[in-house]
Amino acid sequence: MQYKRTPEDRFENLDGYPFLANYCLVPDPDGGELRMHYVDEGPRDGELILCLHGQPTWSYLYRKMIPLFVERGYRVIAVDFIGFGKSDKPTDRVDYTYKRHVEWLKSLLVNLNLTRITMVCQDWGGLIGLRAATELPDRFARIVTANTGLPDAKGVEGEQVEKISDAMRAHYESLPVHQSPPEMGAAMMADNTGMRFLHWVKYCAETPDLRVSEVVKFSGGGVLGDAQVAAYDAPFPDDSYMAGARQFPSLVPIMPDNAAILDNRAAWQVFEHWDKPFFTAFSDSDPVTAGAHVRFQETVPGAKRQKHVTIEGAGHFLQEQAPDALASAVLTFMADNP
């Protein structure tokens, strides 16, 4: 597998990110290995909080929350998925699959022998992390979901699978290639077909200039200064490093014939019997995942007794906009479920 490794000088003196780099080798499908980066802060014998980012960000997203957890005596591991942050970046988009991302995360958890995990997952951190939790359930103690989901085309069966999938592909092909996040967002909100997410898929896949910092600002990251812009963009010196960031939205199993649907349905079957503490902390201003918390609350037994919260005044990247509120919610949930 061909990959790139972002030069170390891109990460020098990042604003608010003083954390030492740690690496774990995970297998690629060709018999080689990829280097997966993770932050590891706090006492090694402390109870573990695992922080998982989404697309197109990296562990920098959790920089404000990590110290808050460490101050309370917890060990914090914040992972960079393959293709993001300081992790290696395969250069061919076809090298990124949903299943491989799950396997890469599971390899890290096993190699580091992580147990009693409280997972905090947002966006793709949930799609990957929730699958890993159902496949390695004994390693997880608690789960916190924030602005994420586990799509499985619930209720779509038989002839509907092909019909809906074909309609979605046709709609995708009809869409223009938007040149900026605001242009894409305006077109998305004006789309009344029920297939708005495809605008985001096409933008990430085909726009000439995909910049992580612009996506963060547009998608509820708030106002970023020059130092924060440079930090979010640091892992990606040019477009040849961006295959993962471009491919992730295309992997979301929103089409009923997506290969990941069956695996996600199997994960939901596990969650139907999951009685470990399960918590939702979604923001109030994220149109992408709005309402996804309801299925978790109604389906997962471990979620039924929790005091779920809504993080006010935050968009999709609530770790950037409301880190104190999210961290406080996580800590309270953990204290309520010792």
The tens digit of pLDDT for each residue in 40-64 reads: 999 999 999 999 999 999 999 999 9
**pLDDT the model gives residue 294:** 98
182 vs 19, higher pLDDT: 19
pLDDT given for residue 9 in this prediction: 97
Q: Give 208's pLDDT tier (boundaries 50, 70, 90).
A: very high
Active-site hit among 37, 101, 293, 316: 316
Which pLDDT belongs to residue 221? Answer: 61
286 is catalytic: yes
Predicted model pTM: 0.96
Cβ atoms within 10 Å, residue 275: 11
All domains in the chain, ordered by first residue: 3-154+257-336 (3.40.50.1820)
Active-site residue flag, 138: no
Question: Tell me, what's the pLDDT at 179?
Answer: 86
Decide if 15 is catalytic.
no
pLDDT band, very low/low/confident/very high, at 166 (cuts 50, 70, 90): very high
Residue from 95, 152, 286, 293 carrying the catalytic annotation: 286
pLDDT at 219: 80
The residue-averaged pLDDT of 239-243 equals 97
pLDDT at 274: 98
Active-site residue (options: 123, 152, 263, 293): 123
pLDDT at 320: 95
Per-residue pLDDT of 243-269, as tens digits, reads 999 999 999 999 999 999 999 999 999
Write the pLDDT tens digit of every residue in 130-158: 999 999 999 999 999 999 999 999 999 99
The pLDDT mean for the chain works out to: 96
